[in-house]
């Protein structure tokens, strides 16, 4: 058996008629999912009714699952991270921090996760869509002159307090915490192990190394705007039990705003990556 997929617009693919038994118990299923993900950037799977155990088991078919023990991460189901505006589930700061375009792990100096899997355990009453865009497409859209100019540029990435100003009235303690987050330098153009190139952008991209702030801000704002034009963005409106998987190394994603009472509850896990941003 192999996966049957239907392309989504402008990126992504829906896996039609998924068979949970096959996905969990056939060693080839993980490779098929990974191949489909590499070819389509985002996969949508409906009707699997995953709980935390089966979500983790499916993730393990695709690789090793990232486990942390910081706010939002489950102790009962190591590897599961809750994204919900409920103080019992996670810290508002982290949840609202995911409402801007980003690549998971881009603000750190480690290897970013290969893929992220999000299941919908509580449907948002209003808002709360998830969007994704291809950072390979973002690179391909550059002119030849831009490709040459940007090839050697490096960008400082960090979790920036300014990114929160319209979403949270930061307390002094929260601001101080964010200000101590380290900045890490990544190339603007990521040359992947297979030779393909993508752009490393998003809310964590703070400053192009060696350029003055005005020039750096103008370039980053222009690139972020061009790659996230509506016709390039997949918008997913959640139904209960939907599973969305994105290739974190070739996409950016963001949640759209929602309120504390929206009922939105997402369970996330990520697959350990193997490609440094280089």
Binding-site ranges for ligand SIN (CB under 6 A): 83, 98, 116, 130, 253, 255, 266, 268
Output the smallest distance, CB 19 to ligand SIN, in A: 26
Output the smallest distance, CB 153 to ligand SIN, in A: 25
**Would you state the structure tokens that stand for residue 58, as one six-digit string?**
């499916």
Shorter beta-carbon distance to ligand SIN: residue 86 or 146: 86
Shorter beta-carbon distance to ligand SIN: residue 24 or 93: 93
Backbone angles phi, psi at 23, to 5 degrees: -65, -40
Shorter beta-carbon distance to ligand SIN: residue 142 or 273: 273
Shorter beta-carbon distance to ligand SIN: residue 207 or 268: 268
Output the smallest distance, CB 98 to ligand SIN, in A: 3
The DSSP-derived string for 42-91 is EEEE-S----HHHHHHHHHHHSPBP---STTB-SSSTT-EEE-S-TTT--
Q: Which residue is nearest to ligand SIN (CB)?
A: 255
Contacts of residue 66, Cβ cutoff 8 Å, sequence gap at least 6: 79, 113, 269, 270, 271, 272
- Between CA 249 and CA 135 the distance in angstroms is 8
- Between CA 175 and CA 82 the distance in angstroms is 23
Output the smallest distance, CB 2 to ligand SIN, in A: 28
Residue 114 and residue 271 in contact, taking contact as beta carbons nearer than 8 Å? yes
Output the smallest distance, CB 100 to ligand SIN, in A: 9
**Helix (H) / strand (E) containing 268:** strand 265-271
Shorter beta-carbon distance to ligand SIN: residue 158 or 268: 268
């Amino acid at each position: 058996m192999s996966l049957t997929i239907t392309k989504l617009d402008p990126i992504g693919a829906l896996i039609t008629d998924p068979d949970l038994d096959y996905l969990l118990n056939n060693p080839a299923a993980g490779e098929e999912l990974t191949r489909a993900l590499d070819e389509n950037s985002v996969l949508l799977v409906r009707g699997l009714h995953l709980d935390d155990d089966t979500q983790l088991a499916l993730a393990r078919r695709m690789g090793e699952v990232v486990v942390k023990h910081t706010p939002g991460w489950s102790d009962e189901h190591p590897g599961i991270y809750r994204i919900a505006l409920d103080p019992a589930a996670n810290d508002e700061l982290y949840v609202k921090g995911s409402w801007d375009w980003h690549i998971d792990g881009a603000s750190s100096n480690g290897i970013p996760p290969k893929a992220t899997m999000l299941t919908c355990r509580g449907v948002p009453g209003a808002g709360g869509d998830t969007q994704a865009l291809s950072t390979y497409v973002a690179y391909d859209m550059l002119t030849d002159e831009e490709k040459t100019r940007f090839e050697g540029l490096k960008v400082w990435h960090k979790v920036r307090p300014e990114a929160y100003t319209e979403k949270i009235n930061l307390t002094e303690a929260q601001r101080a915490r964010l200000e101590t987050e380290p900045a890490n330098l990544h190339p603007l153009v990521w040359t992947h192990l297979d030779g393909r190139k993508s752009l490393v952008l998003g809310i964590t991209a703070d400053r192009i190394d060696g350029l003055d702030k005005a020039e750096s801000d103008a370039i980053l704002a222009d690139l972020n705007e061009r790659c996230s034009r509506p016709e390039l963005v997949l918008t997913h409106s959640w139904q209960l039990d939907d599973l969305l998987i994105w290739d974190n190394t070739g996409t950016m994603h963001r949640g759209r705003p929602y309120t504390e009472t929206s009922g939105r509850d997402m369970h996330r896990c990520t697959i350990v990556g193997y490609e440094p941003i280089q």
